[in-house]
């Protein structure tokens, strides 16, 4: 069962998201919050696998809450805005992904399922554009190269494909590995890189030059 927290200052929005998600027998909404501060508090009293956070809320917005909640749950940001800057901030703070509030119901359910597995909720081309435009700094390359020195050859190969936006199944197909083996590699790669999730690992892969042709 995937346990979800919904944080949005609009009661109807929370009710709508709950209705959509609980149509799936494998998803349950364990808590609702009207602001970021309450969302953080609820993750301390509830076991949460995925937190859906609105970016703009009174009493501590979703971006402020994301950094704290991402330590214990996979965070997906919800917004009516499509600007890259919001996506960039959310991902830097440890969010697993980013969705617009008008996302179709089935896509929302699929996104929650992916987030529960730690998979990024951004199309590969969007991830690539964000990395290139917003998430790098001039000295990031040297830092990233030092980080990947701790990886084995296989882990580097897995990281390269994570950086290209491939799913665990797709990585397994390319490297002739079982999906479970890919997941095991990623679980070892993230702490070695000091990353909270796959998207942050993809940033390291880009900065280190692994994804450049």
Helices (H) and strands (E) in the chain, counts: 11, 5
Give the largest Cα separation in the chain, rounded: 50
Does the pLDDT at position 132 exceed 60? yes
DSSP 82-124: --HHHHHHHHHTT-SEEEETT--HHHHHHHHHHHHTT--BS-H
The sign of the dihedral angle between the CA atoms of 100, 111, 135, 165 is negative
The domain spans of the chain are 2-122, 134-207
Residue 49 has a pLDDT of 96
Fold of 2-122: Rossmann fold (3.40.50)
Q: Predicted confidence band at 94 (pLDDT cuts at 50, 70, 90)? A: confident
- Residue 174 tokens read as 């390319």
Nearest to 83 by CA among 26, 130, 117, 145: 130
Read off the pLDDT of residues 53-80 as tens digits, 9 standing for 90 and up.
998 887 767 888 998 999 899 999 887 7
Fold of 134-207: Arc Repressor Mutant, subunit A (1.10.10)
- Angstrom distance (rounded) from CA 166 to CA 189: 15
């Amino acid at each position: 069962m995937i346990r979800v927290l919904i944080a949005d200052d609009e009661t109807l929005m929370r009710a709508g998201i709950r209705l959509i998600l609980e149509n799936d027998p494998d998803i349950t909404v364990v808590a609702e919050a009207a602001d970021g501060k309450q969302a953080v508090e609820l993750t301390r009293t509830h076991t949460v696998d995925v937190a859906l956070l609105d970016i703009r809320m009174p009493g501590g917005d979703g971006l402020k809450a994301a950094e704290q909640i991402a330590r214990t749950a996979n965070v997906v940001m919800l917004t009516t805005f499509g600007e890259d800057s919001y996506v960039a901030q959310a991902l830097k703070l440890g969010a697993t992904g980013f969705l617009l509030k008008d996302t179709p119901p089935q896509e929302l359910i699929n996104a929650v399922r992916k987030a529960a597995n730690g998979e990024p909720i951004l199309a590969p081309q969007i991830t690539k554009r964000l990395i290139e435009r917003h998430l790098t700094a001039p000295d990031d390359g040297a830092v990233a190269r030092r980080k990947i020195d701790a990886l084995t050859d296989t882990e580097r190969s897995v990281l390269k494909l994570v950086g290209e936006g491939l799913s665990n199944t797709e990585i397994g197909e390319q490297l002739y590995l079982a999906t479970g083996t890919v997941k095991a590699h990623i679980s070892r790669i993230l702490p070695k890189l000091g990353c909270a999730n796959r998207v942050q690992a993809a940033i390291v892969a880009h900065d280190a030059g692994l994804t450049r042709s």
